[in-house]
Structure 1
Amino acid sequence: MELIRVKDYEEMSAKACELVKELMNTVQSPVLGLATGSTPEGLYEKLIHTYENGAISFSNTKTFNLDEYVGLTKEDPNSYHYYMTEKLFKHVDLKEGNAHLPDGAAEDKSQACEDYERLIKSAGAIDLQLLGLGMNGHIGFNEPGTDFKSRTHIVTLDESTRQANARFFNSMDEVPTEAITMGIQSIMEARRVVLLVSGEKKAEALASLVNGEVTETFPASILQQHSDAVIIADEGACSQLR
């Protein structure tokens, strides 16, 4: 793993944008793995700005998001489909058919998982997979105890994860209890992984990732074994590193 220490959230977002821009201008038909939540919002703002300045184009890009809540339609403001549309997709020249997220509203959830895994494989390897770091070590929605060999699957969300995401909903009761997520093996097959970590609240988790052992009780620890994993972390997040 490579650890890039930056001053703050702004610099973290800018450095991540540099890495994505470099890939998009090097690979003819890039495949991006995307994440949601508050951490990548600054990156998406910078990618939009970079696109508006003519420095990148999404016209030949395919995207695959890590996860989606079960039970929410694409139009639901709390769905990750809606998030990605608002935060990135509608602002750039990404073709509608090239943006992929799991179908959280599918009647047959197991089939939706198989279909999504098939879509990823049909695109070839993901060139760059963005990740955030959960305070319990989850990546995507792969909670502690997830098999490292897992592929796209249904997960029951940990209570701490639901509480962390409750700020996006009107009440805790509205937070879904399940999600579809790319599995850990699916994530590890990306050519490059870029993990964004910001703030002191993530410091303990980052220290566990960097200094701890590789264990399924802390899913992000598997990134220690990735051939090209880059962590971009600000001063707050790095505050507990040895």
Structure 2
Amino acid sequence: MNLHYCKNYEEMSQLGAELVLSEVENNPDLLFCVASGNSPSGLYQRMVQKHQESHGFFDWMRVIKLDEWVGLPVDSTFTSEYDVQEKLVKKLGIEADRYISFDAHTKDPQKECDRIQDELEQSGPIDICILGVGINGHLALNEPADHLQTYCHIAELSETTLSSGMIEKVGIPLSQGMTMGMGNIFESKKIIVFFTGKGKKPALEKFLTKEISSQLPVSMLWLHPNTHVIIDEESMK
């Protein structure tokens, strides 16, 4: 476990970018697992800047999407797909043959989970997995529970996640998501986790005890041999 404490979001994002860019430079066709949300946005901005400065730097990189909500309308801008497309995929010019993604509008979520699992088994393992942390310590959509799922699966969203301001902005009720499991995440060669944002302090304090519990999914990362957890000051308030 590598813990990094940063003064602010900008410093955290810059460190994340340095870790990612060095890996891409050494392994241009690596498989990059992209998370949606605000936590990795600064990283993606710096990756786009690198693309603009050094055309061709990401021309071989492959991208796979971490998770997706179930039940959003076709025109929704809340999908993980919309988020990662607008922040990274389009801006880096990642073509369809280098992009693997849960279908945000599938009519058969279980079949879609099975398809992504098959894709991972054929194209994986993930070289770099980007993760944010929920206020209850969830990773991707792996919510606190008595046991955690290993592979891609349909996740039931917790009350904590459903009551977050982020979900309220959707305007329609949600209850499920499609997500990679903890086994998929653990098979990644390198994991970069951003611990940032208000309301994260309780989860962070529990995480720093080094006690491992399925009730705090992020704590499982203490068992991974190559994880970088980047913490900014806001998450400690």
TM bucket, shorter chain? over 0.9
Q: Which runs of 4+ in 1 moved over 6 A?
A: none
Alpha-carbon RMSD = 1.8
- 1:201-216 aligned at under 5 Å gives the runs 201-216=199-214
Tell me if structure 2 keeps the 8 A contact 1:75–1:82: no
Query: Which 5+ residue runs of structure 2 have no aligned equivalent?
Result: none
Cα displacement string for residues 171-199 of structure 1 (whole angstroms, at most 9, x for unaligned residues): 3xx14211000001111110111100113
Which has the higher mean CA deviation after the structures are superposed, 230-239 or 85-94?
230-239
Tell me if structure 2 keeps the 8 A contact 1:48–1:88: yes
Code of the aligned partner of 1:17: A
| CA–CA separation in structure 1 for the residues paired with 2:197 and 2:82 | 26
What is aligned with 1:223? 221
Q: Describe the shift of the 1:25–1:106 C-alpha distance in structure 2 as closer, same or farther (beyond 3 A).
A: same
| CA–CA separation in structure 1 for the residues paired with 2:86 and 2:168 | 18
Tell me if structure 1 keeps the 8 A contact 2:153–2:181: yes
Indicate whether 1:43 and 2:73 are aligned: no
Cα displacement string for residues 7-62 of structure 1 (whole angstroms, at most 9, x for unaligned residues): 10011111101111111101131111111111111111111111101176222111
- 1:227-238 aligned at under 5 Å gives the runs 227-238=225-236
Identity %: 28
What is aligned with 1:166? 167
Give, in angstroms, the shift of residue 71 of structure 1. 2.0
Q: Describe the shift of the 1:27–1:74 C-alpha distance in structure 2 as closer, same or farther (beyond 3 A).
A: farther
| CA–CA separation in structure 2 for the residues paired with 1:94 and 1:9 | 26
Tell me if structure 2 keeps the 8 A contact 1:143–1:158: yes
| CA–CA separation in structure 1 for the residues paired with 2:74 and 2:90 | 14
| CA–CA separation in structure 1 for the residues paired with 2:229 and 2:55 | 24
TM-score, length basis structure 1 = 0.91
Corresponding pairs, count? 236
- 1:53-92 aligned at under 5 Å gives the runs 53-54=53-54, 57-72=57-72, 75-92=75-92
Code of the aligned partner of 1:231: V
Code of the aligned partner of 2:51: Y
